[in-house]
């Protein structure tokens, strides 16, 4: 089977849950310790074998483009003060992959954002990393999904079990087990009312899709929240061509929510070589 080399990262959402900061800074550029969330996503894609990445942006999101570019002012300053190694590290961020950008002119939903990637993707399967879901794992999550894709040849949704309180805000999947942690998906619903819940398995931030998804997205009407929902298109894909779900290993942070970003910073701040020890002492003193 042909290797999957392309990924799309939708990051054009308005981020209303992250107001007021999202008014001035794209939520995807908020830091977990010292790296913006988007850096983690690109790293995960690259570590999974992805070489070409399209980031879907919108108005006010220019900081994402600047971050994945060379910054000659920093470069000159660092080199002049003998910090060539740091200058090289900063330039390497721009060289992690072939990264291109496309504007979604209106935030009409995740499904519409993915549809914007049609000509970039062409006739190939591709990965989608939702721009506000950072997942820290031993094996990169996109790679975990790609292993399932290469085995079954069908689109793959990255899933995890969530609580009944969470499932009504996410999507719910109807599944039959295929093997440990892998399922066949027969139906799914976005933001289900409590009587419409299939299971507590929900898609969290990562999918691998065949190019057929674009024909479906083209005629997918607005759904929950009056947005064009990727879930609605994937439902049709699951019913017609078939889809699988992979229960991935990894810690997922919803950095599009205030609590999610705080949790990510506390947990990763404790693990970071520069901050870990001092931060642990600080937290101990704070909670004792």
Of the residues 41, 50, 68, 104, which one makes contact with ligand UTP according to CB under 6 A: 104
For residue 259, report the phi and psi dihedrals to the nearest 5 degrees. Answer: -65, -40
| Cβ distance to ligand UTP smaller for residue 3 or 103 | 103
- On whether the CB atoms of residues 247 and 159 are closer than 8 A, the answer is yes
Cα–Cα distance, 101 to 106 (Å, whole number) = 15
- On whether the CB atoms of residues 256 and 22 are closer than 8 A, the answer is no
Mention every residue, 6+ apart, whose C-beta is less than 8 A from residue 261: 18, 30, 32, 253, 255
Span 132-161, contacts to ligand UTP by CB under 6 A:
132
Minimum gap (Å) between residue 101 Cβ and ligand UTP: 12
Of the residues 8, 13, 44, 216, which one makes contact with ligand UTP according to CB under 6 A: 13
Cα–Cα distance, 50 to 206 (Å, whole number) = 14
| Cβ distance to ligand UTP smaller for residue 169 or 280 | 169
Of the residues 36, 109, 140, 250, which one makes contact with ligand UTP according to CB under 6 A: 109
Cα–Cα distance, 1 to 99 (Å, whole number) = 24
| Cβ distance to ligand UTP smaller for residue 56 or 238 | 56
Helix, strand, coil % in the chain, rounded to nearest 5: 40, 25, 35
| Cβ distance to ligand UTP smaller for residue 93 or 113 | 113
256 is an interface residue for ligand UTP by CB under 6 A: yes
| Cβ distance to ligand UTP smaller for residue 12 or 182 | 12
Of the residues 7, 8, 11, 245, which one makes contact with ligand UTP according to CB under 6 A: 11
107 is an interface residue for ligand UTP by CB under 6 A: yes
Largest CA distance in the chain: 65
Minimum gap (Å) between residue 155 Cβ and ligand UTP: 18
Of the residues 130, 149, 183, 248, which one makes contact with ligand UTP according to CB under 6 A: 130
**Using CB under 6 A, which of the segments 29-37, 38-46, 102-110, 242-250 binds ligand UTP?**
102-110
User: Helices 84-94 and 72-80: crossing angle, nearest 10°?
Assistant: 160
Minimum gap (Å) between residue 276 Cβ and ligand UTP: 28
Write out the E strands in the chain: 6-10, 31-32, 35-36, 52-57, 98-103, 126-129, 133-136, 155-161, 171-179, 182-190, 201-209, 243-247, 251-254
Interacting residue ranges for ligand UTP, rule: CB under 6 A: 10-17, 56, 104, 107-110, 112-113, 130-132, 256
């Amino acid at each position: 089977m042909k290797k999957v080399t392309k990924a799309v990262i939708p990051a054009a959402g308005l981020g209303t849950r992250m107001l007021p900061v999202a008014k001035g800074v794209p939520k995807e550029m908020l830091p977990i310790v010292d790296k913006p969330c988007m850096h983690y996503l690109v790293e995960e894609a690259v570590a999974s074998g992805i070489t070409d990445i399209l980031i879907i942006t919108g108005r006010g999101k220019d900081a994402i483009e600047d971050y994945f570019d060379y910054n000659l002012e920093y470069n000159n300053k660092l080199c002049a003060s003998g910090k060539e190694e740091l200058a090289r590290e900063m330039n390497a961020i721009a060289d992690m992959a072939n990264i291109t950008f496309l504007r979604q002119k209106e935030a009409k939903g995740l499904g519409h954002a993915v549809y914007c990637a049609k000509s970039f993707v062409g006739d190939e399967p591709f990965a989608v990393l939702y721009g506000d879901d950072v997942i820290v794992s031993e094996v990169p999550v996109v790679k975990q999904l790609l292993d399932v894709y290469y085995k079954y040849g069908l689109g793959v949704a990255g899933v995890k079990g969530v609580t009944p309180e969470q499932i009504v805000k996410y999507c719910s999947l109807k599944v039959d087990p295929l093997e440990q942690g892998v399922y066949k998906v027969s139906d799914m619903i976005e933001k289900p009312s409590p009587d419409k819940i299939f299971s507590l398995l929900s898609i969290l931030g990562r999918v691998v899709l065949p190019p057929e998804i674009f024909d479906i997205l083209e005629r997918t009407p607005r759904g929950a929240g009056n947005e064009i929902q990727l879930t609605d298109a994937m439902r049709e894909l699951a019913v017609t061509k078939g889809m699988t779900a992979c229960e991935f290993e990894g810690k997922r942070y919803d950095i599009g929510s205030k609590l999610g970003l705080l949790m990510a910073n506390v947990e990763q701040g404790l693990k970071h070589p520069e901050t870990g020890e001092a931060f642990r002492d600080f937290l101990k003193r704070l909670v004792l």
